[in-house]
Structure 1
Amino acid sequence: MKRFFFNIREGGELIKDPDGTLLSDLNSAISEANGAARELLASEIRSCRSADGRSMEITDKTRTAVAVIALRSIVLG
């Protein structure tokens, strides 16, 4: 199992995931991030806020970014 962190970036601000999640591989981390991004996007829509410019960054145990998911990409498919 590997530890992945799911940070939220909004413009120049980064909200770090302090604990991370143990997952088997990067594909599992991307799947987890897509689900979390959908939930975040739904919350933004319910609050009448835009998700433009926001993204979820997946980092490994060294805090190196291994994938980025733009919230806008969830809407666009």
Structure 2
Amino acid sequence: MDPKVVIALFGGCIALLLIIGAPLKPMRFIGQGLIRILIGALLLFFLNTFGTVINLYVPINIATASVSGFLGIPGIIALVCIKQFIM
């Protein structure tokens, strides 16, 4: 192969990776965030299911699902404290 063709192929591959690879990173962060919100909604669903025994209910919306998804168990505890003591 001619060296010009090899250099052109390598340059084209690098340019393609730079163009395609850049938008994929923000999409990965958005996807991870959506998965965390879904896990948070699932955790709130289980909290509401088992919390009916002790008369505990935390509404499931985008804000509460985000808090419980990103903070995990401490976020759920914070939501329960806010619901019980502030509201």
TM-score (norm 2): 0.31
Instruction: Select the structure with the greater relative contact order (CA < 8 A; seq sep ≥ 6).
Output: 1
Higher strand share: 1
Higher helix share: 2
TM-score (norm 1): 0.35
For the pair shown, the structure with the greater C-alpha radius of gyration is: 2
